[in-house]
Every structure is written in C-alpha cells, then in structure tokens.
Structure 1
Amino acid sequence: MSNRRDFIKGLGITGAMLSIPAVINAEPAVAASEKIDIANITLKGRVLSNGQGVANVAVTDGINVVLTDKGGNYQLLSNKTAQFVYISLPAGYAFPHEKSIARFFKQIDNKQSVFKADFDLTRLEKDDANHAFVVWADPQIISKKDAAIMLETSAPDLRDLVASYPAGTLMHGIGCGDLVWDHFELYEDYKQAIGMSGIPFFNLIGNHDMDLDARTDDYSAQTFKKNFGPTYYSFNRGQVHYVVLDDVFFIGTAKRYIGYLTETQLQWLEQDLSHIKPGTTVVVSLHIPTNTGVKRRLNNKEDELGGVVSNREQLYKILAPYKVHIMSGHTHMNEKWEDRNMIEHVHGTVCGAWWTGPICSDGAPAGYSVYEVKGGEISWYYKSTGKPKDYQLKIYKKGYLQTAPDEVVVNVWNWDSKWTVQWYEDGVLKGNMEQRIDYDPWTVELYKGDQLPKKHKWVDPTLTDHLFFAKPSAGAKKITVTATDRFGKKYSQDMDLV
C-alpha cells in the first residue's frame, strides 16, 4: 500500500504495508534448506550475590521455567534451538545493565551439550517496594534527522525527569516497541538516547523492529535479539511482577503482521506466573495493544488484525488471578480502558505523529508516561516533552473545531473514566463538560489533507474519546477548566474569551 492513511484509521493487516526502506544491519534470514539442530542441551549454573547462592530465582530458556535451589543452583534440559538462558530478576536486587540496556540473559553456545551460565546480582541497600518507571512508546526514528531530534529533545527531557526525583529513587524504563523504523543502524541512536537517562531499560519488539526478510515469525527478531536479548521475559521489583511479551506476529511478507501471542509464549507465561502469588500486581508490556477503542469510535464491525491482539481473551484468562496493568503503544494515540481486573495504558508516543509535529494524531503531546509504585499500588501521569509535569490539558478557543462552532474544546489526553472535567465561566462553576468523540482541532490543522504534513503526507488526525466541550455565554470574558484525575490531583488552565 502506497498510502498509510488506512493504517492510521484502522490499524489493519493491509494497512501495515508501507513503502519498504532499506533494512540495514539485519541478521541473515534462515534459509529454507538450512537444517535446524534440535538436539538436547543442558543449561546449568548458579545465581549468586556476593558469593552466596540466591534461592527461588526463576530461570528459563523461553520454553521451560525452573527455580534455583537453596544454593542458587539451577539445571534445565533444553534443546539447541534455544538462544538464551535468562532469569526473572528477583525483587531486592539491582537491575544489571550496560549503558541502560538491561542484562539478565546469557546467549547460549549450542555447539556443546552442556552450557554453563552464572548470574551475579547485587543486593539493593534499600527497600524497593517504592519505585518508579517510565514507558517510552514508539520512538520510531527512520533517519539521522529524526534521531537528532530525539537526542536533542526527548532524551534530555527524560534525563531531567529522572533527575527531578529524590536522589536514590529506584527507577527503570520500558521501551515499548518500534524503537526504530526498520533502519537498524539507528539502534545506536536509541541506545544513546536512553543511556542519557542513566536508568536501566527493558526493551520489547515492535512491528518496525522486525527482520523483514525472515521466512517466518520465528526468525523475525534476530536483529532485535542481537541488540536487546529475549523478546519475552519477566522481572520483579518490590511487590510488582513485570512481564514483557512479543505480540507482533510476522506472517512472512515484508510489513505484514498481526497482533497475536504464540502458544509457546502463553505456556511460558503460565509457568512464569505459577510462581507469583494470586492478587499480586502484574505489569504486562507489549507493543500492539490487547484492545483499543478504535473499532467503537469508527463503528467498525471487526477489529483490525494489526491493531489489537486477536487472542487477547486467552491472555486475560491467564492474568485473571492478578491485579493487572497492561502497557502498550503502536497506535500513536493515548487512551485507557478498564475491565475486570485490568487497566490497559495505550501510550502516546515519543515521536508524536512520526516526528512530523509536536502532537500525536489524537492531540496528545509527544511524550511518555511516568508510573509511581508504592507497594502494590500504582499511580501515573503523562509527561509531555518539553513541558512541566502539570501540563495535562489544552483549551481550544470557541470555533477552532469546525464541528463545534459555538463551543470551546478541551483535550485531556491522559483522561480515563475516573477523571472529572469541570469548567468555570467568569469564576462561576458551570459543571461538568460534555465528553464527545471528535478530532482534536490542532491535529486537523496540522495533519488533515492530502498535502499535510509535508514530511509524511499519510499522517491523519484520529478520533479520540478525551475531548470535552462547553458553550460559553455571549458575554463571557474568561473560562477556566479544572481536570481532576483518579488520584485526586487537579490540573487547571484558563482562557480569555475577549
């Protein structure tokens, strides 16, 4: 497909077709005639801290999970198709990393029948029940020019955000996929950007991080693995169990994929969670959202295959015993939904609308989300690049949106159903604003039309739920909007009408 407007609107499998840029530094695809060695290999070793064994640490080859014994020893019968042996980093220990890339894995040398790998951990000097993390979704750089913008704006913003917390605050990052835009030589720029933060990052694969010449999904992550390690894994901090999954299923033709979790991953997840107490807070990160409001907003009959996880209900069944937060990206929109024991945070992007302007296609500013953890409870806010932490809404003047000529419009991009949005006219409370589905006015100005934006003409505004409307009186001089989030924090903004 030469035009990506359908992708932005529907996020479908056909819409995943882009003009294909050169894929540089990709791992070679596995040839159809190449024989795969499936002989057994024994994985063994110890998990240690200060020379002492660490018990009950989960160790995996991505298929089976075992726990270390009281001496920190593990042994796992695997086969030579396994690429990594890795651990679920236990609570109470520092996250090992190299220039912010988390290192919890060892690449297996499958030329031998026994592979030995030890893991050395450093015990934290403080309790990690209280900590924080950030989610960077879709940096999606396609050129050195994009990378330069990221390094000059997004990366310093994150660095300063980290520095704003008290010294010694435990914080980590989650790179939520589409770390680059098919140009793998730009991984070095991404690494430089997150390295400026000084915090460890756990990264996951997106559809633009896949090897497009792979013959099947099984081999579509070779370059990603070379740079970041396994595509699905878990780790622990404080009372929270973190899981990273790969839900981008490559169907063997360049740029085509569906949102899908393989049986291997689901079986691995069942084993991983069997060691986690029911009721625990579990944070699951994946690139393609498990669900969104796109189908509802567009009145579509079916979800688009590339826009959500097709077998999400199977994932939800596995997660049912836990208190779940799902972290996703992919859509370049910011939204949330809650159901049963779950809330999904679909994140606005680091790149905004593909580095074409300061906002995403729903009007959410380019940026990222910040999560603060106290025990098993999580609170959050959206951090707009280059803006203060309390920048959480934008008021548009009356008539800016053509579909609402007599109304002011407010975009509250981190809104969820537990927020309230109220307005005052000349200091008098008028009540709750009316929520409606529409286009953010600024996105219409920046992105609507065949010639806009100049950089990527296929970018279009997208419908959003987080717009609020009010009709001021004829003689009104000033309005004030106050949005109160689910945690009771208030954010206000004024606008003069004359």
Structure 2
Amino acid sequence: MAVQRRDFLKKLGLAGVGLSLMPGLIQAAPKYKMPAKGKDLSVVRLSGKVHTNGSGIANVAVTDGYNVVLTDAKGRYEFDSNATVEFVYISIPRGYEFPSEKSITRFYKRITAERGKFKADFELKKLTQDDTNHNYVVWADPQIISKSDAEQLKTESAPDLKKLVSSYAAGTLFHGFGCGDLVWDKFELFDDYQQALNHTAVQFFQVIGNHDMDLTARTDEHSAETFKKLFGPTYYSFNRGEIHYVVLDDVFFIGTAKKYIGYITEKQLAWLEQDLAHIKPGSTVVVNLHIPVFTRQHIRNKEKDEPLGGVVANRKELYRLLKPFKAHINSGHTHFNEKILEGDNIIEHVHGTVCGAWWTGPICFDGTPGGYGVYEVNGSDIKWYYKSTSLPKEHQLRLYPVGKVKEKPEHFAANVWNWDPQWKVEWLEDDRKMGEMQRETGYDPLSVELHEGTAKPAKHKWVEPQLTEHLFFAKPSPNTHKITVKVTDRFGNIFQEELAQQQPVKSAVN
C-alpha cells in the first residue's frame, strides 16, 4: 500500500482531499467587501396564510430560521423577525404535495420587506392519496466537476433512478435528498445537476456540502449565498406521512478556501429544538446533512483524533435533541458506506456516493458500488437497501476468490457494503452449510486494483483504497468445487452469490 501518501491524504481532510491536491485550485480568498452601512437589525413583521384553495390549514409550522410558530385555525401566522433574515418558510404538513419547480422543492419565500413588513402566503395542494406509505432516496455527492461528469449523472444516474421508481406500483410516492456536494466547486454545473433531477421526475430536497459553498466568503455566514439563491434555506423541515424530515447544514466554513469543520451552529440547534417541540415523542425523525455525525474511519486508521472535517464536533447536542424519537441520520461526504448505531434509537446511514470515487469508475474507494440509498416507509417504520447504479437492486455483495486479498492468501472474501450488526453473512461449501464468515477490517481488492498507487486512477491519481469494516472472510477446504455466500439483511431479505470456479478451490497451504 502507498502508506506514506495515504497518511498525507488523511491529514488534509476526507472529502476535500482531491481538490486539495490538484495544482492551481488552491487560492487565497479575496477580502470580503463590507457593506456601505452597518447590519440592519430593525424589526420586520412577517405574516401570511397557509391554505389550500383559500381554505386555511391549521397548525402548520412557519419559520424564519430563528422562530417557529404555528398557524391558527384559519391558517394565518404573524410574528416579529428582523431585517437580517432572508427567508420565511413552512414545514410542509403531511397529506400535501411538495411545491416544486423542475424537481426542486420550493417551500420558502425570500423576504423583501417594505416599511418593516413582509407578507407571504403559501398555497398547498392536497395529495390525491394517503402518504402513510412512501419512499425516499438519498443521492450523496453527485460532485460533478466537468461536463463529462455531468453527462454521466444525466445519462447513467438519473435514468437508473427513474427506472427504479417505475419498478414500483404506479403512483408510489417518492422524494429525494441531494445530500451535499451537488457539484465540485463549479457552480456553473448546478444547472446540469438540476437537469439530472428533472429527468428523474422525483422531487428533491437539497443539502449543502463543502463543495457547494462560496469559497470567497470571509465567514461561514456568507458561504452559502449561491446555494441559497438556487435552493433556498440550508436548514428546514417537512412532513410526509408519519415521518418528520429535517435538513441541516453541518459544514462550517472557517474563512479560507476549502477549509471547514463538521459543526452545527447554535442558531440551527436553537431552531431545531423549537421545530422538534411540535413533534410527538416516539415519532420517527429523519435528519439529513452532509458531513457524517460520526464515522469509525479514524478508528480503522488507528488515528488518535477525529478528523475535524470528517465528523460533527458537537454531535452530542444533536443526539440529545433526537433522544425522544426514533431517529435516522442520512449523510454523505466520505465516499464510503457505513452504518453507525448510537444508543437504541439512532442509526446513521453514511452513504456511498452517486459519483463513486469521483467518477473514476464503478466503485467508491471502499469497494461500495457508485449508487444511492433507497428507503421504504410504512407508517413510522423504515426499511432500506443500497441501489448500485446500472445494477439490479438485489446486488448487495461482491465475492473475491481465494488469494485475491494478499493479506489473507488462504481465504476468499465478500464485501457486504450495506452491512450492519443485524445482518448475517454465511457461507456454503459445495452446498454444505459452513456457518458465518468472519468480519475483518481490510482493503477491498477491486479498489486496490483500480485505485492503489500514484499512477491510478488516471482521472484523479490521488484516489487511494480506504479501509473498510464490511469485509468478510472464510477459509475453504482443499478441493472445494463451489463456494456460495448467503447474506440475510435485518429485514429478512436474502441475497446470494456464488464464486465461479473453473477448477476446484485449492488451499494455499503447501
């Protein structure tokens, strides 16, 4: 392994490492131009009505990003905000369509106050079906940096999602999350990203990533200006069926190009506390953000400290706010797939990416195929699977023959990328049950083949294999003809693969 080079990459921060090493892309941020006058802190009175065909909708949460109020019996709201606030927006209630434009959801109004007042009405349309059961997908890190990348997103990823949706019963409700790094610092490609979403016909909610920020901003407060012009607020909530969905901005820009930490601001936490106060304890809450709240990568790499740009530093407060609920956290950023269990009520889904290893080939650098998460909601319960782009949804593992992992020359291996502790990975030898395979930390052999070394992959030579904990090993008996791996996920779904052997499997022992 290219150990010294890989150690250097780790120190620079996980997802931004590629750009950090590309010549000519690092530059000092220009000085921020101060406004002619100081910041306006005057009071702005916000008011309006949330309605359907003129009939008010009661108890809809309305917010300016600081305050959260509920509409009255006639759907009206009114509260004091201030002139620094940019948006007034709603938490779309269950039973209503998501207002959208070319698959981009529009649940907000930009404030343009006159004489200290701004009125914003929100018209919603009732769904023609019950939304208790519905599905959603998580697209982590499309991260397009060129027209070539954008073309792959539009001609491979988008059609794959569209085909998946069509495989469900007609009328099945779907929505999606662009889980950050929608582009790769090339803001002119946001239009291509939106074109890809429009092709899927799935309505998407957007999450800001570290590569979606304005790198010329002098502080975090100004780093999302472009994103907000295109997609609205960077943190918000909505409801579908019995699920309460939340989007947060956990990428804190520290004022110099490509430098950031995983951190949730006090402003967001104070807002979230108000938002969740209106949700019944015991409900299911799904939080979407870009940087994982936590991963075990630094543990796998035997590093003393957590990467500042790789996990959320103040995650304990988020965990506290989520404690009364059944919570799922969706994140991206890492370009590997991992499940993190926190206590008995929180599971974090760290997603493999739409772009894989930055559009260099079919896999992420832990061996997870490029793809996305699919979640099936039934009431307050959620089931999920990982969908590999251009492959059937049953594709949930990859097998490697004896000798493929050089550190374990007598063993065959299986990469089960969406594994969590409630999965079972068993193997059969010539149709004879042999028990469970042994899970170990290691490098995916295909990732080693495609990514290891300074010469490859040719497109982005800094990509390297990364350690993963979802590799499984077993040692077959001499002269075995057929090896079968049977994987059972936490929902009882069974996935099975066989190693194709031209000759009997022979032990590596002389």
Superposition TM-score, scaled by structure 2 size = 0.94
Instruction: Specify the code of the residue in structure 1 equivalent to 2:150.
Output: A
- Given the superposition, is the C-alpha separation of residues 136 and 249 from structure 1 closer, same or farther in structure 2, using an over 3 Å criterion? same
**RMSD between aligned residues:** 1.8
Partner of 1:388: 392
Flag structure 2 segments of 5+ consecutive residues without an equivalent. Answer: 504-510
Q: Using the alignment, how far apart are the partners of 1:101 and 1:32 within structure 2?
A: 32
Which of structure 1's runs of 4+ aligned residues deviate more than 6 A?
Answer: 20-23
Matches within 5 A, 1:214-253: 214-253=217-256
Are 2:133 and 1:116 equivalent residues in the alignment? no
Matches within 5 A, 1:50-449: 50-340=53-343, 341-449=345-453
- Given the superposition, is the C-alpha separation of residues 230 and 21 from structure 1 closer, same or farther in structure 2, using an over 3 Å criterion? farther
1:494 deviates by 0.7
Partner of 1:32: 34
Instruction: Specify the code of the residue in structure 1 equivalent to 2:438.
Output: E
Residue by residue, what CA displacement relative to the aligned partner does 1:221-249 show, whole Å, maximum 9, x if unpaired?
00000111100000000100000000000
Residue by residue, what CA displacement relative to the aligned partner does 1:448-484 show, whole Å, maximum 9, x if unpaired?
0011111111101000010000111110011000000
Give secondary structure in 2 for the equivalent of 1:436. Answer: strand
1:29 deviates by 8.5
Partner of 1:479: 483
The answer to whether the 8 A contact 1:7-1:14 is kept is no
Instruction: Specify the code of the residue in structure 2 equivalent to 1:300.
Output: E
- Given the superposition, is the C-alpha separation of residues 116 and 325 from structure 1 closer, same or farther in structure 2, using an over 3 Å criterion? same
1:356 deviates by 0.6
The answer to whether the 8 A contact 2:20-2:258 is kept is yes
Residue by residue, what CA displacement relative to the aligned partner does 1:396-436 show, whole Å, maximum 9, x if unpaired?
11111111111111000111110000000111011100100
1:80 deviates by 1.0
Give secondary structure in 2 for the equivalent of 1:196. Answer: helix
Q: Using the alignment, how far apart are the partners of 1:99 and 1:204 within structure 2?
A: 17
Residue by residue, what CA displacement relative to the aligned partner does 1:370-412 show, whole Å, maximum 9, x if unpaired?
0000000000000000000100001011111111111111000
Q: Using the alignment, how far apart are the partners of 1:18 and 1:85 within structure 2?
A: 40
- Given the superposition, is the C-alpha separation of residues 188 and 12 from structure 1 closer, same or farther in structure 2, using an over 3 Å criterion? closer
Give secondary structure in 2 for the equivalent of 1:253. Answer: coil
Superposition TM-score, scaled by structure 1 size = 0.96
Residue by residue, what CA displacement relative to the aligned partner does 1:301-348 show, whole Å, maximum 9, x if unpaired?
110100000000011111110100000000000000112110000000
1:162 deviates by 1.1
Q: Using the alignment, how far apart are the partners of 2:498 and 2:295 within structure 1?
A: 31
The answer to whether the 8 A contact 2:14-2:334 is kept is no
Q: Using the alignment, how far apart are the partners of 2:35 and 2:55 within structure 1?
A: 47
Flag structure 1 segments of 5+ consecutive residues without an equivalent. Answer: none
1:11 deviates by 3.1
1:17 deviates by 3.6
1:4 deviates by 8.3
Residue by residue, what CA displacement relative to the aligned partner does 1:248-286 show, whole Å, maximum 9, x if unpaired?
000000000000000000000000000000000000000
